[in-house]
Amino acid sequence: MTIHSKIRLLLADVDGTLLTRDKVLTEDAKAAVHELRRAGIVFAITSGRPPRGMRMLIEPLGLDGAIAGFNGGVLFNPDMSVIESHRLDPATARQTVDLILGRGLDVWIYTTNDWLIRDPKAPHVTHETSNVRFGATIVPSFTPEHLAQVVKIVGISDNLALVAACEKAAQETLGATVSAERSQPFYLDVTHPEANKGAVAVALSRLHHIPLTEIATIGDMPNDIPMFRKSGFSIAMGNASDDVKEQAHAVTDNTEHEGFAKAVRRFILQPATA
């Protein structure tokens, strides 16, 4: 294998990209990451997940650099120590919660360490517990003390059109005070304006002294588009929507057919005869 001369770092989304639909890290995906490392290419991950929900990937992938949870809301080391974090302004957090509830979605809030919910039987609570591998703290309401510590707010609904409409409303109403993007068709993630995956690419460029033009990104959802726009080369998963695919330089197979590993080998690592 020879190294793609222009790529020195690959930044990957987690759910729907690195992991399958059933949240499995396949042996081929792990092998592809180790091939990157042998080729001298840095591998990093970013996700809307909290840091605790990404911990199980650190050892299998041999991660040894900065990791970005909450779409960049918290940048942390493999030992879970925080490098930097971006909290929402409490007044903005209150406005966001009210907007999402007013649109008919349920709301969760995340602090650096905790996940707070109001109803344990609400949609996707069980699903999220399985994904992040820790339980939520149930509260009757979100108090000013809670809202003073918010890193991410999530709006949730199985009415996907409602989530998409809420995303647009949040972007229009809250404007530059937040970053508001869907991380899944049923999740709307709202974070600090500097907590987005484009800012993650910029931070990794600074930390690793690698120009953005030499960073590649791969993802599947609208919240991956900001990092597509910042990086020198972007790859959309085959399971991404057409809107996301149109924002990428290349498209790989879907996550159920080793799309991540195929992208690494086709677009980042090239056969010696290429």
Strand order in the sheet with 137-138: 137-138, 115-117, 106-110, 152-156, 187-191, 179-184
CATH architecture of 2-85+195-270: 3-Layer(aba) Sandwich (3.40)
Q: Which residues, 6 or more positions from 24, have their beta carbon under 8 angstroms from its beta carbon?
A: none
Q: How far is CA 111 from the centre of its chain?
A: 16
How far, in Å, CA of 75 to CA of 89, rounded? Answer: 18
Quick: pLDDT tens for 168-214. 999 999 999 999 999 889 999 999 999 999 999 999 999 999 999 99
Helices first, then strands: H and E counts in the chain: 10, 16
Four-point Cα dihedral 214, 218, 222, 228, nearest 10: 10
pLDDT per position as a tens digit, 246-268? 999 999 999 999 999 999 999 99
User: Is there a contact between 28 and 34 (Cβ–Cβ < 8 Å)?
Assistant: no
Q: Give yes or no for a contact between 128 and 100, defined as CB atoms under 8 angstroms apart.
A: no
Summary mean pLDDT of the chain: 94
Residues 263, 264, 268, 272, CA torsion sign: negative
User: Tokens representing 57?
Assistant: 């990937």
Query: Long-range CB contacts (< 8 A, 24+ apart) of 227-234?
Result: 227/11, 227/46, 227/197, 227/198, 227/200, 227/201, 229/198, 230/198, 230/201, 230/202, 231/11, 231/201, 232/6, 232/7, 233/6, 233/7, 233/267
Average pLDDT of span 235-253: 97
List the CATH code of the domain at 90-191.
Answer: 3.30.1240.10
Instruction: Kindly provide the b/e burial profile for residues 211-223, where b requires at least 16 CB atoms within 10 angstroms of the residue's own CB.
Output: ebebbbbbbbbbb
As a whole number of angstroms, the distance between CA 65 and CA 79 comes to 10
| Fold: same for 2-85+195-270 and 90-191 | no
Residue 273's pLDDT is 31
Check residue 1 and give its pLDDT.
Answer: 37
Domain ranges of the chain: 2-85+195-270, 90-191
pTM here is 0.86
Coil, strand or helix at 153? strand
Distance of CA 110 to the CA centre of its chain: 14
| DSSP 8-state code for residue 240 | S
